[in-house]
Amino acid sequence: MKTPFRSAPVFCATHPSPDGSRLFDDGWVWQPASVPCAWSVSDWLASNPWESEDGPSVVYLLTRDDWDTPACWIGERHVALWGMAGWDNEEGDEISQGPGVRILDVTQSTQSINHRWPMESITNAPLSLLSDGKRLYVATDAGTTVWNIASRQQIAELGGFVARLYDFQRDALIMITPDSIGELPLAIFN
């Protein structure tokens, strides 16, 4: 999907894929438009400095009015993006409203309705989304909920532990407060 909204490279939150081969940008264009996209890092750095704008590897994923929302990679090809509503909603408003994430395939410009993942138990606005590839962690000011990606079921709730980072080396969630830094090893979920 080539978008008519982008006129100059403007980036909001940019997230490198786990292997570092692609970048995901949550798509701020101009209020109220948001067009999340992904592109090849090697093409961008080695051959085309405008790759993120109009290069052959850039994939525009959807158009919506939410930007600067939590997002994270959940594998080499998929990103979880908070919020299910979008301007490309062809299947009706019921499924696109409410809390949840969209799982976007960064290699496809057309996304499936099956990639919407409602999360009714989340009542506070999320501060961050994190993933270790098996689980999705949704942090709000009340704590962090843990979701199994394969089953799409909530498997734990960590009240008061507001995860802000995932440390791949240590396989741990990190909480940062004004007074302390806390760590939760993810071995407890294995």
How would residue 67 be classed by pLDDT, with cut points 50, 70 and 90? Answer: confident
Which residues does 134 contact at the CB level (< 8 Å), separation at least 6? 148, 149, 150
Q: Assign residue 171 a region: left if phi > 0, alpha if psi is -120 to 50, beta otherwise?
A: left
Read off the pTM.
Answer: 0.87
More confident residue, 86 or 34: 34
Quote the tokens at residue 63.
Answer: 């158009």
In angstroms, the CA 54 to CA 48 distance is: 9
In angstroms, the CA 52 to CA 174 distance is: 31
pLDDT at res. 96: 58
Question: Starting at the edge strand that comes first in sequence, how are the strands of the sheet with 143-148 ordered?
Answer: 126-131, 135-140, 143-148, 153-159
Indicate the CATH number of 119-190 among 2.40.128, 2.40.10, 1.25.40, 1.10.3470: 2.40.10
Domain spans of the chain? Answer: 1-118, 119-190
